[in-house]
Structure 1
């Protein structure tokens, strides 16, 4: 059976329609750097840190179902919504150093705001929450220093990357960092003083039991708690299994 030849008019019509379309990049994950610039490539990679942190949040929420983690992540979402509102209220364009016309506003920097919200919240959490729970051993103090220093370093590097790669001006990055740190202060205060006392009541709700939500606020070291309880449960089940086989 012979097949009909392709309709040339159809292909020409499709090409003409594609020429009229305006294609725009998905700038949320698009990062450009100067070709051959090793520092620029490294900073471009670092500027993707907010997406890695967001993925980590979703993973923790999915597998741990902890109310504080959910509250922390909710704060990052609200921080991004605040950034969107500020950008469209101020309407300051991004720098034109690379002769690129951006479709988004630049004031304040969303990357800087996100990272400094995260870093500031982590600092408050370590100094206030963990200070009253742990025994301040050498290993715990070292881990606190590593957590704070790594979070702060990541925030600083992301800010540097946004200026170095010419996506933002220094003023836009500084304003983003200030807004993020300020919002983190407000959100941590609400979480610590208002939300956390409600967690024991929230976990008793039917919807919380259905979703397996839990409150680990009063547990100093969740990893150690889960590790020891898992070992005890495995040993108990192993002894029970051996006794059943011996009967």
Structure 2
């Protein structure tokens, strides 16, 4: 085994300049797509929300598109890069572009929260615009880091951004049509969806607040029952 050459797992192996703090920070930014995949999986399992599953499906389709484009265009990475594989378009830029644009479209156009209650005020449109701006800025930072680390040229990053944005918009239109024609409701009524308790509440509810209100109601009921017993 001592004479067997070792290979690097490209999923997490990132080249950076150890003497440059910005380069080190960019190396961490390179892990954002993997982190977002963990977030996707966690939210899908914990909330069983079909909207999150749909977004993740679009994200995977966007990745498949990137895989195909790289092998069609076959443009090499910058000469300073020691890694393997084609560089056009940047998969990181395309990934975060899809995620940020999809999040923005959801918050600004699809999420219609219920009216405020005495215990809860939903996010205002101004707050949702601010969150959308933060998502776009974060995506831009990840995309920029790819040129700083010399993994991609500026053109490769820009093409990745536009490919991700176009994919997000087209996927949003597609899922909107699926909703409007009632296909999504039909899917949620199928045995496999019911088995996994899939639902579609996040479009109009704040899930954390919804759970909190149920908990408050349960405590009030329990307190009332205890009060009756002590009388």
TM-score band w.r.t. shorter chain: 0.7 to 0.9
Per-residue deviation, 1:82: 0.8
**Paired position in structure 2 for 1:44:** 27
**Residue 78 in structure 1 maps to residue 61 in structure 2:** yes
How many residues were matched structurally? 226
| Cα separation, 1, equivalents of 2:164 and 2:131 | 18
**Paired position in structure 2 for 1:113:** 94
Listed one character per residue, the Cα deviations across residues 182-222 of structure 1 (whole Å, up to 9, x for unaligned) are 00010011112214643333222222221111111552433
**Paired position in structure 2 for 1:95:** 78
**Paired position in structure 1 for 2:43:** 60
**Paired position in structure 2 for 1:31:** 14
Per-residue deviation, 1:39: 1.1
After superposition, residues 195-210 of structure 1 pair within 5 angstroms as: 195=179, 197-210=182-195
Change (3 A) 1:230 1:219: farther
Contact 1:87 1:105 in 2 (8 A): yes
Structure 2 gaps of 5+ residues are: none
| Cα separation, 1, equivalents of 2:84 and 2:70 | 12
Contact 1:113 1:181 in 2 (8 A): yes
3-state DSSP of counterpart to 1:93? coil
| Cα separation, 1, equivalents of 2:157 and 2:218 | 50
TM-score normalised to the size of structure 1? Answer: 0.82
Change (3 A) 1:219 1:226: farther
Contact 2:122 2:206 in 1 (8 A): no
Judge which range, 145-154 or 57-66, deviates more. 145-154
TM-score normalised to the size of structure 2? Answer: 0.87
After superposition, residues 204-219 of structure 1 pair within 5 angstroms as: 204-216=189-201, 219=204
Contact 1:120 1:181 in 2 (8 A): yes
The structure with the largest alpha-carbon Rg is 1
